[in-house]
Amino acid sequence: MSQEVRESRGPAVEEGAGVQTTSPKSSLVREREGGVDQKKVVFARPRGLTEAHTIYCPGCTHGIIHRLVAEVLEELDLLERTVGVGSIGCSVLIYDYLNVDMISAAHGRALAVATGVKRVLPDRFVFTYQGDGDLASIGTAETVHAAARGERVTAILVNNGVYGMTGGQMAPTTLPGMRTTTSPAGRDPALTGFPIRMPEMLASLEGAVYLARVTVTSPKEVLRAKRVLKRAFEVQLQGLGFSLVEFLSSCPINWKMDPVDALRYIETEVVKYYPLGEIKVPEGWKPLA
């Protein structure tokens, strides 16, 4: 058997066995068996993503996280009954890229809006997609009280340690010593306090039943992040309570690093303060290996 892999930039066409079908942007594998070429799709855009090209900065991991959200929604057959809520910051752009109903909330208010949607339409699957400045600073009250009430919604927190859209100012999650435009000498905890670990802070609340932290710095971590995200979504589907997944993300432009160094910085420095893993799982669930 010989095998050839090619990538298509446009709609891919399969012509095996006299059948011609079109598929989304795809990667095809051509296999030759018995003297006949056979082609099959091995990688394609999930139905949960639109065809829009993302405009995120080079090295930003929002695009990877969007794809994971789309894949899990599709695998759980939730696309037709999902309502997503974005807020202000780079994360707001998700409404252009996810192929589900989306609402844009005022800064920090995504979980308040999600609460209203879920209570009026309890059969919908509802999630929020928020940055750290939005969820962990301006929207801290909404986050804490949604978790305390045990709202049946899922929050996705993308933590890159800065206010990325507005120029890289210090956020509540900025690491000690980390330089930002508003802490050019490095964050000084004696002056500005310590970074907030949101999952750990929420863990004491009974309504918060699933809390986890992941990253997407390597294929292994991407696969693990997808498993964690699916468990968070299943918590909502089973009506168990509030769930939150924090993604440690990169911001190479505001960190003034190239994309590879930014990912390495997460792996070597950021995870020391923000350890990866499941911080809290529902009673009776086994933590992921």
- pLDDT tens track for 252-273: 999 999 999 999 999 999 999 9
Comparing 10 with 79, the larger pLDDT belongs to: 79
Sheet strands side by side (includes 21-33)? 2-14, 21-33, 36-44
Q: pLDDT over 70 for what percent of the chain?
A: 91
Q: What is the pLDDT at residue 25?
A: 60
> What predicted TM-score, i.e. pTM, was given to this entire model?
0.88
Given a cut of 90, is residue 23 above it in pLDDT? no
Query: Which residue in the block uniquely carries the two structure tokens 């690491």?
Result: 175
Q: Which residue has the higher pLDDT, 87 or 68?
A: 68
Q: How confident is the model at residue 62 (pLDDT cuts 50, 70, 90)?
A: very high
pLDDT of residue 20: 36
Write down the pLDDT at residue 27.
73
Looking at residue 26, its pLDDT comes to: 67
Question: What average pLDDT score do residues 90-112 get?
Answer: 95
Q: Which has the closest alpha carbon to 177: 260, 245, 246, 272? A: 272
Q: Which residue has the higher pLDDT, 17 or 222?
A: 222
Q: Which of 33-37, 98-102, 109-113 has the lowest mean pLDDT?
A: 33-37
Q: Where are the domains of the chain?
A: 61-280
Do residues 93 and 56 make contact, with C-beta atoms less than 8 angstroms apart?
yes
Distance CA 51, CA 128 (A): 21
Q: 61-280 has which CATH code?
A: 3.40.50.970
Read off the pLDDT of each residue in 276-284 and give the average, rounded to a whole number. 97
Name the average pLDDT for the chain. Answer: 90
- State the pairing for strand pair 125-131/162-163: unpaired
